[in-house]
Structure 1
Amino acid sequence: MSTSVRTSARTAGGGKNWHIPAGMLRGDGWQLDLGPKQAGWDFAGLRVLRLEPGESRTFTTVDRETIVLPLSGSCVVDYIGQMPEAAGRPGSISQPLRTRDHAWWELAGRGGVFDGPTDFVYLPRNAAATIRSRRGGRFALPSAVARRTLPPRYVPASDVPVELRGAGSCSRQVNNFCTPQSLDADRLIACEVLTPAGNWSSYPPHKHDEERPGETALEEIYYFEVSPGQGGPGIAYQRVYGTERRPADLLAEVRSGDVVIIPCGWHGPSMAAPGYDLYYLNVMAGPGPERAWLICDDPAHTWVRQTWRQTDIDPRLPMTPTGYGPEPKGNPEPNGKGKPAPDGVPSADTGMIR
């Protein structure tokens, strides 16, 4: 018997509520406050915090393991310690509590999302922490409802694996800062994808909404930022469509700060319009006993992968300054792992389709 991602009023409806424009989930000082309740599912969440120079924010993670990931700017993360099985949803606390677990880390951050990988901090569930920024900045906090309490830790930018995936007009860069192979976590899976202007990523279309051989059930959040053009803000597009059993139909024009939630269905491509480089942050989590990122290609389009063997990677990649981060890795050879699922083809890259 397979397990699938739960649906609710927002996640049902065939995709009409899955595109969340920037500012629609602003509240309590967060530019974006998207938890499982707001998404209508059980595990994955994302908050985005903007701090003016000299500002700080103290918050609790409650039942969610959380990463503090600079989008732009630098900060200090002050880990206050573990709270006694904190209740309610993540938010501010008025009186910071010092415990013997107290520690802090200074994050160098980056100028912006197109400036290379960044260092980050992992915080466990039921933790209290403060983010301070002397010069100001924007910070993403991807999260997942967790079963285990793992130790907090700092990860330098030099430890973030960078991969170049696809080829030709499907070339993209993936910063695998919180994938199962790169960071020990309980449920949270997250990565950053950079797509040069005019290219497609998250392609071929794929899905991960059932627990079965070759596929894991994962809720997914796409958070977008688009480079501006000569005339103003940039645009991009995101496609999601369903299966016969769980129909969906979404083609959204997305801009910086927009979110698309994907509870189920085939998703892709993510389309970078000519003239505008595209960034998105993927946040995933699911109910399965194993933290794994296994996807199935849409059988109608999986043949596209074979064409990459005869095509060079876009020379505009990597979008990473020389000497910043690890040496990017190119496309791996297909490994053939995973048994074909009844209505999909397991990715030859075992989930790393971004």
Structure 2
Amino acid sequence: MTDTARAESFHAVGEQIAATLRDAHAALEGYAEGDGNPRELKKCAEQLHAVHGALQIASIYGAGLLAKEMEATCNFLIASDKSGSIFDEGIEALSRAMVQLPSYVERIMDGGRDIPLVMLPLLNDLRAARRQSLLSESTLMLLNGQSLASSEQALHAVADGAGADLDVAKLRPQFQLGLLGWIKGADAERNLQRMHAVAMQLEAGAANQELHRLWWVVGGVLEALADGGLDASISLKRLLGQVDREIKRLLQSGPDDFTANPPADLVNNLLFYIARATSSGERVAALRSAYQLGDVAPAEEQVDELRESLAAPSPQLMKTVAGAISEDLGRAKDVLDIYVRTGMEDATELEAQV
């Protein structure tokens, strides 16, 4: 398929998504402004399900995630009591999402980047309406495992370390000593170096890809902390505490357990901090490149700007409103023209135009 044909196909999908979203919006408005017929909500959920599938095909994952949450909220409302604050919150969150999702899709179709973080406030409003746990920024960062798998550095390190003789029982107390000292704020530089040395040994002796990935990323976070690119926040202290528990798991269950149950959430959360680090050490730079962190974790200012633009009226909405205003002005002009030309004197004839 040529680039032109691919672009035409992409925009055809975009037009279909836009049309389906308009139908979903109309169904939601019909429910909210009408007699509360549940068939309208069911129709809205069906349309959102179709939108989610189309967005997945078009690889617009941020919008797809929002459509999925909107569909889930629709189904939640269908099954819930129609009175009370929970129902009202759900309708209000759905209505706002219904306005912003088409604008987001339109921006992507015009060549913009798909940045799921922009959708975070709406996603959490929808989840809160269903009394579900909220998402964090780090949970929206997608692991780019393929980038790591294709990294010569990663593959070389795993191959070299597969047969290394690691004494994990001796390494864990060293890591714990460094972690405890760093948490207490005692000689932070020395304790970070102690943890980093343990991570390097575990990385060098990694028996599989999942273990190498974990220690490579842990080493990057420790490098950023040592270089002053990250602050010693409570969240980071908890994450490094989880790293210690992974060392314990390695000691008790062995490396094969990491292949069956990779610590994806932990790695994902650590990568989030690497993306936010202000330092550019060798390891941090390599991780940013391998995981394309500049794409999945844009600057906060950019995210805020995009959120504001989505909250503003879309060009399509402005065009529709402008057309309606133009029609109203045209009718008022015609009435005024008739009033003047026919010599009418009763001003009350013009009240309907005010």
> TM-score, normalized by length of structure 1?
0.26
Looking at secondary structure, tell me which structure has more strand per residue: 1
Q: Which has the larger radius of gyration?
A: 2
- Structure number with the higher helix fraction is 2
Higher RCO (C-alpha under 8 Å, 6+ residues apart): 1
- TM-score normalised to structure 2 length: 0.26
